[in-house]
Amino acid sequence: MQKTIAIIGAGLGGLTLARVLQTHGVAATVYEGEASATARAQGGLLDIHEETGQAALRAAGLYEEFLTLVRPGEDAKRVVDRHNTILLDRAADPRTVRPEVDRGELRRLLIDSLEPGTIRWGHRLDSVRCRPRGGYDLTFAAGHAVRADVVVGADGAWSRVRTLLTPAEPEYSGTCFVEIALGSDGRTHRAGVAAIGSGTLMAVAPGKGIIAHRYADGRVRGYVALNRSEEWMTSIDFGDPSVGLRQVAGEFEGWSPLLTAFVTESEAEPWLRPIHALPVGLGWERKMPGVTLVGDAAHLMSPFAGEGANLAMFDGADLAGELVGRRDVEAALTAYEERLFPRGRDAAGRSARNLETFFGPEAPGSVVALFDHT
């Protein structure tokens, strides 16, 4: 392929796309707004699914390296009620087909697999304009501009590339997260860490929950989840983190102190993260030649189907396969989107249902039932 390919965003989807293209001798450039690979933390653990994320890593020629990142034993799950009564306690499965890996380590694997210079850091996309004779002019916030024949939006929830294809925007799901974390000093938080078990603790009730994961090195990371309005979020004051965390902990009055301690004693820099989602079943007509989307830019959903990262990588590998397998770019993008739309619809639908399962009126019994059937 002689076309110039610009991938906007160095998340898992964009990186996988670039990697698979390169393994077939097709060059692409990834433009990322962040200043470097270490500009911000990359989140917690991901369970990588055999049929999507693992398939993408095989296509990228990175499956064996991926296996070295797997964290065995960290897929254990414990569900409790607000009194910390254990309702389900599932041990880790050594034969799991959905092994856990650290998102940051997986991203680093993909970054390191690319040829030097593939990623242009510090390039936050400002605008994309269609050229009269074909192709696109891309302008970045720092003033740099480039031209590209093919533009792939891997730029996440608030994708600028998506605006070329559809007016759809993410909508607030009604649930917000607050990150929590405890250090690896087990003497300080021994009782709370023990309450987690050996993997992930899910303490849930209608409209709220405390989710915490215990890492092998003793660290604890997780989040508080609350079904609250956007107006409520503006009332939380994290100018003084301890004050803000006490406000959040106040939403869990009557809960076990072992559980609320994850909030009041959190060592993470607290920030409110409203969970947004694109409309389930989002699609678009092919009116912009050479433009498409992967990952959250195409099918943003809540994390409660465990599919976001997996689908992003699978999208990238699938799109790359079409681009290297066809001479006609539009035929490649059409074929790719014919599969993209239904898989995004199915996963987003499950995610929306699972969000209700976790924090709806039947929680925590609904969560126990969910895991009893998986």
Please tell me whether 19 is known to bind a ligand: no
Print burial letters for 343-370: b (CB count within 10 Å at least 16), e (below 16).
Answer: bbbbbbebbbebbbbbbbeebbebbbeb
Sign of the C-alpha dihedral computed for residues 226, 44, 363 and 253 taken in this order: negative
Among candidate residues 77, 79, 78, 75, the one with its CA nearest the CA of residue 96: 75
CA dihedral 266, 43, 362, 157 (to 10 degrees): 130
Phi/psi region, residue 143 (left: phi>0; alpha: psi -120 to 50; beta: rest), is: left
Please tell me whether 40 is known to bind a ligand: yes
Please tell me whether 47 is known to bind a ligand: yes
Residue the block writes with tokens 């639908």? 349
Strands 136-140 and 145-148: antiparallel
Helix (H, G, I), strand (E, B) or coil at 72: coil
Give the annotated binding-site residues for FAD. 47, 103, 296
Residue ranges of the binding site: 40, 47, 103, 296
Residues in the annotated binding site for NADPH: 40
